[in-house]
């Protein structure tokens, strides 16, 4: 069964189709954050041209929101980090993803699963953009700089105003 989430951002609306069959844990985790309003008022805090846009964890003042426990990495599900797919962000620890996600703005093969080893786990894709690719493209083009300890931060906040699951 396919689930759909709509992200209303200050740059426009992005519609995500989630792949519950191939990434059940990741989709359930993402929907849990959506349904409790976690993403509302967060920003795309890391934007790198010809790579990706990342959000879901920081408020407009770059404070990190509290999260639930990390989830098991499902990057070995066969889904690839291609343009306009959505994947979970994580630290260097393979099974550390919680709330933050990113949308690939080009094919990023180097992020794909290669083996169940610390360097091979990759980043779990769990859906794709099905509407609003022009919004993703616009966010990718914003001017960025440094804010506190963070690089690649949009100089003008790109806010996720509301994230909702739609039928």
Residues 127-163: tens digit of each pLDDT: 999 999 999 999 999 999 999 899 999 999 999 999 9
pLDDT digits (tens, 9 = 90+) for 32-60: 999 999 999 999 999 999 999 999 999 99
- How far apart are alpha carbons 115 and 48 in whole angstroms? 26
For tokens 């786990």, the residue is 121
Position 1 confidence tier, pLDDT thresholds 50, 70, 90: low
Grade residue 118 by pLDDT with cuts at 50, 70 and 90.
confident
Give pTM, 2 decimals: 0.98
Per-residue pLDDT, 2: 84
Determine if residue 140 is left, alpha or beta; phi over 0 gives left, psi from -120 to 50 gives alpha, anything else beta.
alpha
How high is the pLDDT of residue 120? 97
Residues 6+ apart with CB under 8 A from 55: 39, 42, 43, 44, 45, 46, 100, 101, 102, 158, 160
């Amino acid at each position: 069964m396919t689930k759909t989430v709509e992200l209303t951002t200050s740059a426009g609306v992005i519609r995500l189709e989630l792949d519950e069959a191939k990434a059940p844990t990741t989709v359930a985790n993402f929907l849990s954050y959506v349904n409790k309003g976690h993403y509302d008022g967060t920003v795309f805090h890391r934007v790198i041209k010809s790579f990706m846009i990342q959000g879901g964890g920081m408020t407009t003042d770059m404070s990190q929101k509290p999260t639930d426990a990390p989830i098991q990495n499902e990057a070995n599900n066969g889904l690839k980090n291609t343009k306009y797919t959505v994947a979970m962000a994580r630290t260097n620890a393979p099974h550390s993803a919680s709330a933050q996600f990113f949308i690939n703005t080009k094919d990023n093969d180097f992020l794909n699963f290669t083996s169940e080893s610390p360097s091979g786990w990759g980043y779990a894709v769990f859906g794709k953009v099905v509407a609003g690719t022009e919004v993703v493209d616009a966010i990718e083009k914003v001017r960025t700089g440094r804010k506190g300890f963070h690089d690649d931060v949009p100089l003008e906040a790109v806010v996720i105003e509301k994230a909702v699951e739609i039928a």
